Each structure stands twice: as structure tokens, then as C-alpha cells.
């Protein structure tokens, strides 16, 4: 079943290639959506795909890339969302 995951990631997530890490993981798991930096120092992610792929993706996000430090990942599973064609980095 296809679902949507919405995350806000806090910690050392800006300037450490986190968005590119997320893009790579989403592409590897065949997910669509986006990742972007938020002004307050957080990272926002919306990802759509199959349950199992989203679970693996969330595990990767909680670890982050080598230079990052993930302090908190807030998650939500919204029921109605727009559909994305690909996964992209938004500015």
C-alpha cells in the first residue's frame, strides 16, 4: 500500500549534505517527494511510496549521513496528499 510520510528532522542537519543523502536514499528505495531546509535549522521531508520502503527510509533518516547529528525526527502519516512524480531537493 502506498503511503505518505512527513518528517521534520532536528539536529546538525544543515551544511552536512543531508539533503543529498536523503535524495540518494529515496531514489534507492523508489520513493517520490521532496526534502528541503527549513529556516529554523530543521529539515523537512515528504516521501511517498510503499510501506516497507518508507520504513527503511525512516531508519536511514534517523541515522543520517556521517557528518550529521540527528537529535529528533518528528513524523506524521497524512492521509490526503498531493502526488509527486519524482524525489527532489527543494530550496
What total number of domains does the chain contain? 1
Cell of 22: 536523503
The answer as to whether 64 is a domain residue is yes
| The Cα angle at residue 7 between residues 89 and 40, in degrees rounded to 5 | 75
> Residue 89: inside a domain, yes or no?
no
87 in any annotated domain: no
Residue 91 lies in a domain: no
Q: Which of 28, 30, 37, 83 is catalytic?
A: 37
Domain that holds residue 59: 2-82
Return d(Cα 15, Cα 17) in angstroms, integer: 6
Residue 6 within a domain: yes
Q: For residue 90, is it within any domain?
A: no
Pick the catalytic residue from 12, 19, 28, 69. Answer: 19
Q: Is 29 within the bounds of a domain?
A: yes
What is the predicted pLDDT for the residue at 22?
A: 98
CA 69 to chain centroid: 15
53, burial (CB in 10 Å: exposed 0-12, middle 13-18, buried 19+): buried
In this structure, how many other beta carbons lie within 10 angstroms of the beta carbon of residue 59? 10
91: pLDDT confidence band, cut at 50, 70 and 90? confident
As a whole number, the mean pLDDT across the chain is 95
Residues 10-25: tens digit of each pLDDT: 999 999 999 999 999 9
Residue 30 designated active-site:
no
The CATH number given to whatever domain includes residue 41 is 3.30.70.100
Whether residue 19 lies in the annotated active site:
yes
Q: Closest Cα partner for 25 from 61, 50, 49?
A: 61
Amino acid at each position: 500500500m502506498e503511503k505518505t510520510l512527513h518528517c521534520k528532522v532536528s539536529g546538525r542537519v544543515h551544511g552536512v549534505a543531508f539533503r543529498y543523502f536523503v535524495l540518494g536514499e529515496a531514489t534507492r528505495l523508489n520513493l517520490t517527494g521532496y526534502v528541503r531546509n527549513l529556516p529554523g535549522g530543521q529539515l523537512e521531508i515528504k516521501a511517498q511510496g510503499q510501506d516497507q520502503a518508507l520504513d527503511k527510509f525512516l531508519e536511514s533518516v534517523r541515522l543520517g549521513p556521517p557528518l550529521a547529528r540527528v537529535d529528533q525526527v518528528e513524523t506524521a502519516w497524512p492521509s490526503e496528499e498531493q502526488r509527486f512524480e519524482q524525489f527532489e531537493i527543494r530550496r
